[in-house]
């Protein structure tokens, strides 16, 4: 009972934090944007699977389209705790400037990724290293950029099928300005069924000269063409 009360208290604090982040901005700033994400992992053999990701981001809460993103690939499970992935991605963005003008750009990626997970007690720690080879096309030209990303993620079960998830991911450009961006996320999740779960949380996206706040809603599904497999909350 005590643990349940603590979980409800943490959830209440989190909801309050999301509310104040969305409303207590500086006079010249907009409120929080929205970050909608769908993640799927489709197992096709004992060691091989097909991951897919889709993201839709808005500059304001479900308003003013910001960018859409799709990513697919093929994953090979090296060991029980490590996975190697490669694939392609496409991003279409609309950036808003201080003059209320918008600039549009498209990006085409080839990426390589290595993931390593470890467990201690009831917690899961996941490291993710990714190299992205990006072709960025705007109204003026096409430019090529290599970018490296590292994400450290922590997941801890709370009560029944609920859990807390937190991660921090840094993006480093390998061509020019070294620091590209940083993303910090904290939120709660619920395993709805053996193959479906949902996360809700706060995401802080920090760039070199600015930053943005987002309410992130993520759904995860899992399919297995071999046997029925329980969806895990430690992706």
Written as one string, the DSSP assignment of 146-210 is EEEEEEEEEEEE-STTEEEEEEEEEEEESSSSSEEEEEEEEEEEEEEETTEEEEEEEEEEEESS-
Residue 56 forms part of a structural domain: yes
The Cα–Cα gap between 221 and 115 comes to: 19
Is 50 exceeded by the pLDDT of residue 41?
yes
Taking residues 79-85, report their average pLDDT: 97
Query: CB-based contacts of 191: which residues, under 8 Å, 6+ apart?
Result: 161, 162, 163, 197, 231, 233
Is 50 exceeded by the pLDDT of residue 201?
yes
Residue 229 forms part of a structural domain: no
Residue 220 forms part of a structural domain: yes
The Cα–Cα gap between 229 and 225 comes to: 10
Structure tokens at 51: 């991951």
Main-chain dihedrals φ then ψ at residue 62, nearest 5 degrees: 60, 20
Closest to 178 measured CA to CA, from 201, 150, 146, 215: 146
Top-confidence residue, 159 or 85: 85
Residue 230 forms part of a structural domain: no
Q: Check residue 95 and give its pLDDT.
A: 76
Residue 31 pLDDT grade (very low, low, confident, very high; cuts 50, 70, 90): low
The total domain count for the chain is 1
Handedness of CA 153, 204, 199, 196 (dihedral sign): negative
Question: Domain containing 164 — which CATH number?
Answer: 2.40.160.40
Is 50 exceeded by the pLDDT of residue 3?
no
Closest to 214 measured CA to CA, from 49, 25, 74: 25
Q: Check residue 159 and give its pLDDT.
A: 87
Q: Check residue 25 and give its pLDDT.
A: 43
Residue 72 forms part of a structural domain: yes
Top-confidence residue, 10 or 122: 122
Q: Check residue 160 and give its pLDDT.
A: 87
Q: Check residue 138 and give its pLDDT.
A: 87
Taking residues 79-87, report their average pLDDT: 97
The Cα–Cα gap between 199 and 202 comes to: 10
The 10s digit of each residue's pLDDT in 54-67 is 999 998 998 889 99
Average pLDDT, the chain: 86
Range of 42-46, 138-142, 175-179, 222-226 with top mean pLDDT: 42-46
Taking residues 96-121, report their average pLDDT: 86
Is 70 exceeded by the pLDDT of residue 6?
no
Residue 235 forms part of a structural domain: no
Domain span at residue 115? 2-224
Q: Check residue 15 and give its pLDDT.
A: 56
Q: Is the CB of residue 196 less than 8 Å from the CB of residue 219?
A: yes
Q: Is the CB of residue 226 less than 8 Å from the CB of residue 46?
A: yes
The 10s digit of each residue's pLDDT in 122-179 is 899 999 999 999 999 987 899 999 999 999 999 999 988 999 999 999 999 998 889 9
Residue 120 forms part of a structural domain: yes
Q: Check residue 10 and give its pLDDT.
A: 53
Identify the helix (H) or strand (E) that includes residue 126: strand 123-137
Residue 100 pLDDT grade (very low, low, confident, very high; cuts 50, 70, 90): low
Exposed/middle/buried for residue 203 (C-beta within 10 Å: 0-12, 13-18, 19+)? buried
Angle at the Cα of 52 (from 44 to 163), degrees rounded to 5? 95
Q: Check residue 11 and give its pLDDT.
A: 56
Closest to 234 measured CA to CA, from 4, 20, 39: 39
Residue 234 forms part of a structural domain: no
Q: Is the CB of residue 94 less than 8 Å from the CB of residue 66?
A: yes
Is 50 exceeded by the pLDDT of residue 2?
no
């Amino acid at each position: 009972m005590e643990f349940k009360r603590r979980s409800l208290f943490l959830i209440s604090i989190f909801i309050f934090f999301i509310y104040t982040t969305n409303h207590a901005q500086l006079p010249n700033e907009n409120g929080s944007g929205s970050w909608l994400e769908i993640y799927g992992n489709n197992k096709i053999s004992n060691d091989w699977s097909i991951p897919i990701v889709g993201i839709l981001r808005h500059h304001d809460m479900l308003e003013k389209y910001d960018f859409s993103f799709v990513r697919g690939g093929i994953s090979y499970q090296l060991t029980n705790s490590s996975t190697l992935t490669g694939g392609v991605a496409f991003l279409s963005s609309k950036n808003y400037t201080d003059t209320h003008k918008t600039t549009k750009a498209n990006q085409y990626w080839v990426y390589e990724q290595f993931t390593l997970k470890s467990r201690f007690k009831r917690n899961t720690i996941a490291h993710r290293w990714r190299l992205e080879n990006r072709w960025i096309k705007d109204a003026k030209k096409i430019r090529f950029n290599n970018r490296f990303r590292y994400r450290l993620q922590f997941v801890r079960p709370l009560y029944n099928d609920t859990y807390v998830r937190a991660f921090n991911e840094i993006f480093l450009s390998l061509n020019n300005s070294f620091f590209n961006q940083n993303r910090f996320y904290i939120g709660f999740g619920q395993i709805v069924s053996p193959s479906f779960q949902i996360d809700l949380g706060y995401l802080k996206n920090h760039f070199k000269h600015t930053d943005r706040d987002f309410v992130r809603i993520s759904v995860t599904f899992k399919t297995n063409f071999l046997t029925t497999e329980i969806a895990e909350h430690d992706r």
